[in-house]
Structure 1
C-alpha cells in the first residue's frame, strides 16, 4: 500500500491498489489524480447521499476462493434511480466490481470487448455480442451519470461523468455489462448475480433490527 499526502489538507490518502489512479481524500473530500508518487488536485467531492447498503469501504469477503476488500465506490444515476458500483481488490492482485441495484448484486470482472467508442450508436436491445468466449444478448441500454464517489478507483470518478451503460445476459444466469465513455473508451465486464451472504462478508454496515447475512 502506498500513502500520499493530500495536496489540499495534507492528510494521508491510501492507495492500496496499483491500478488505482483516482481517489477521494477521506479527510477533506478533495478529489485527486495519481501520477506515480504525486497527486494532482482536481476538485472537491460533495457529501454522498445516504443509503441502506450494508456494503462499505474496507469490507472484506470471498469469491471463488479468493479474498477481496472494497477499495472504492462510484454512485451513478439513471432515469429510474441510482445504483452503486463497488470497486473490489483481490488478494491475487486482480480487481473486479460489485454492482448493487434494487437489492440485487452482481459481481463482474473486466474482459476484452473488441468494441470501439463509435459502436455505441449501433447497440440495441436484443443484439448479440461475444464476450469472454460466450454469447451475450443486450437486455437494457441506458445513459448514466456519476453523482459521487469515495475511496480509490481505476478511473476518474468525478461528479458529472457520463457514460452509456449496456446490460447483457447469456440467458442461463450469466451477466455482463459494457460501458461506453468518451474519455475512458469501452470497458466490458462479465460475471454473475450473487447473494450477499455467499460473499462471506466481514466489516459490513450493521443496521438496527437487521440479522446476520
Structure 2
C-alpha cells in the first residue's frame, strides 16, 4: 500500500506546482484585482476587464533627477499596470542627470535588459562569491546590456548631458533592493557591531552612514 500512496502524493504535488505556475496558460489573461491583497494577486473578473487595465501612459515624461543620486526610475510594474499580472514581464524608464547614478542594487526576481535611448552610460554588475568579478561596459545610444537575476548592478552617466534608458525585466514585480538603503537604512537599524565587522569600519563611521539613510 505504501507505493501507491507515494505515487499519489507525488502526482498531487506535481499537479499543484503546474497549476500554481501555469495560471496564464489556462486563460487569456489574469488582470490583477486591486481589491485583493497577499502573496500573489487574484484575477479580476474577466467580464469587468477593460482596455485601461492593459494601458499605461507616462514613459515619455522625463523623471525628476534633482536628488542625491541624480537619477529617477519610473516603473511600469504590475502595481502600475494590472494587465501585466502573470505575464512575467515589466518595464521601467530611467533618467540620469549629468554624473548621476542608479546606485548598486539587485532585482531578486528578474533579469534586466537595459537599452540606452540617449546619452552615455557606464554599466556594471558583480558576480557572486567567491569570485566577485566586476564586469562593466560603457554604452552609447542604442546599446543593450543584460544584468542577470539577483546580481548587484548599477549605471552611471559618464556623458556630458542627460541620459535616458529603458529597462525590460522578466517579472511583473521584479523587486528592488538598493544596497546602501537596505544595509544602512533598515528599520529598525542593523546593529552597528554587525556592520562594523562586516565593513571593517569603526562604529562612528557606521553611525554616520546610518544617519544618511
Same fold (TM > 0.5) = no
The bucket for the TM-score relative to the shorter chain is: under 0.3
Rg comparison, structure with higher value: 2
Question: As a proportion of its length, which structure holds more helix?
Answer: 2
TM-score, L = length of structure 2: 0.24
Question: As a proportion of its length, which structure holds more strand?
Answer: 1
